[in-house]
Amino acid sequence: MIAFYALLGCVHTGASEAPRPALVELRPEPAAGLADGLHLDAGLRAAAEELVGDVTRVDARLDPASVRLALARAGYPRDAHFIHAHSDDGTLPRTLLDSIPRTAPVDIAWASRPTPGGIGQTFILGWATQAGTMDALPRDIPLDRGLPLRIDDLASPRLYIGAPDGRAQELGITPGVDRWLDVFHIPGEYRIEIVDKDRVAFLFSLFVDVALPAPSALPGPAERPDPLAASAEIAANVNALRARTGLRPLRAFPLFEPETRAQAACLASLGIVAHKTAGCPGVPDLTAHDDFPHARHHEDVVAADTAAEAWDRLYDSPGHRLNLLCDTCTHLTVGSAIENTNPARVYAVVEALEFPDGEPAPIVRGRE
C-alpha cells in the first residue's frame, strides 16, 4: 500500500535523533548508495520514526493531523511528504526511492517496524524538496513574545502566518534580513508558511503557551468519499471559518460548477494536484468563455483520503487559508471528484470568487 497527499493554492491574475525543541534543518549530506540529489536528514528521520511507531494495525494509513504532529515534534520545518508501504522481504523497496521527484536536492529519511499482525516490515518513507535556508527557531514560545525569522537563498519569498483563531495574514520578508514577528498574542498552534514562486519552501508549526498533543495511533481505512458530499462539506467549512473570523459567508455560484467538477475529475484521472496542466486547463480558462468572464479566482486544490482530511490540509496551510478568507470575495464554487483507484482519494478544487465589474446577474440565453 502506498499513500501520499498534496495540495496547491494560488490567485489567478541520516542518523536518528530525539525530537528537538527547535526548528532547524540539519544541513544534510549525501548518503552513500543513494541516487544523486538525495540527502538523509535526521529531523525527517525522527518524524518517520514517530509515524511508524503509530502504526498499530496492518491497514493503518497516514492522515494530515498525524503527519503535522510528527513533523512538529521532530522539529523539521519543511513541507514533507510521506509514503506508507509494506515489504514482504523486510527491505525498503528501491522503487519507492526511485519514485521521489528530484527537480532539486531532496531530504529523505525512512523508518520501519514489523508489520503488526502480519508478515514483513512496514515502512514510512519521507521526503521534502530543499529550497532556501532558514535560521533555527524555537518551537515553543511564551505568549506575546516576538522572534526574528531569517531566510536566505530564495528568489521571491512570501510569508504566510495562520493564527489559532483561524485568521491568516501575509507579511513581507526579504532574504538575508531578519523579519521580526510580533504576532503571537493568542495561545495555541501557529502555522508558518514560506512560499517561493510556486513552491512551498517551509511549512511548520510554532506553539504559543500550549503543549504539543500526544501522538496517537494512525487511523484505519477510510470510507470511499462521495464527491457531492465532499464539496458540500468543504463549502460549509469555508463559511464556518469565515464566520469565526468576522467575514460574510460566500454564496454558491452554480454557473462554474460544471467546469470546477471537470477540473477536479481531470486531475483525479491523472493522480496529480495542480492548478493547470497540458490536459487540465484550469477553472479560470474553462470559465473564460462563460457569461461572466471577469471573475477573479482565489483557487485552492487539494487531494486527501476524506473530505474532512482535505479540509484539514487546506486549513493547515496559511496561504490556502488566506485564499478562503478573501474579504472582497462574494461567491464560492467547489468541485470534487474521486480517483479511479482502491483506496480512492477525493480531489477538490475550491474557487473563492470576486467580480471586479460588479456582482453578476442572471443572463437569459437565446435572446437578442
Report the CATH number of the 227-354 domain.
3.40.33.10
C-alpha closest to that of 349 among 247, 294, 277, 249: 277
Q: Please give the pLDDT value at position 1.
A: 39
Q: Above 90 in pLDDT, residue 208?
A: yes
Please determine whether the domains at 133-208 and 227-354 fall in the same fold group of CATH. no
Tell me the DSSP string of 73-136.
HHT--S--EEEEEEETTSS--HHHHHTS--SS-EEEEEEEEEPTTSSSEEEEEEEEE--SEE--
* Confidence category of residue 292, pLDDT binned at 50, 70, 90: low
Angle at Cα 365 formed by Cα 361 and Cα 368, nearest 5°? 100
| 141: CB partners within 8 A, 6+ apart | 147, 184, 206, 207, 208, 209
- Mean pLDDT value of segment 352-359: 88
Omega before residue 227 within 30° of 0, cis: no
- Parse the chain into domains and list their residue ranges: 14-129, 133-208, 227-354
Q: Please give the pLDDT value at position 27.
A: 41
Q: Above 70 in pLDDT, residue 323?
A: yes
Q: Cβ(349)–Cβ(264) under 8 Å?
A: yes
Q: Above 70 in pLDDT, residue 212?
A: yes
Out of 10-24, 38-52, 62-76, 324-338, pick the least confident: 10-24
Position of cell 509494506? 86
* Confidence category of residue 33, pLDDT binned at 50, 70, 90: low
Q: Please give the pLDDT value at position 313.
A: 97
pLDDT in tens, 234-268: 999 999 999 999 999 999 999 899 999 999 999 99
Q: Please give the pLDDT value at position 12.
A: 41
Q: Please give the pLDDT value at position 88.
A: 87
Q: Above 60 in pLDDT, residue 221?
A: yes
**Mean pLDDT, the chain, whole residue set:** 88
Q: Please give the pLDDT value at position 103.
A: 77
Report the CATH number of the 133-208 domain.
2.60.40.10
- Mean pLDDT value of segment 279-304: 87
First to last CA, the chain: 58
pLDDT in tens, 63-103: 999 999 999 999 999 999 999 888 888 888 888 888 888 77
Tell me the DSSP string of 231-297.
HHHHHHHHHHHHHHTTPPPPEE-GGGHHHHHHHHHHHHHHT---S--SS---HHHHHTTSS-TT-EE
What CA–CA distance (Å, rounded) separates 62 from 304? 10
Q: Above 70 in pLDDT, residue 45?
A: yes
- Mean pLDDT value of segment 162-172: 97
Q: Cβ(64)–Cβ(309) under 8 Å?
A: yes
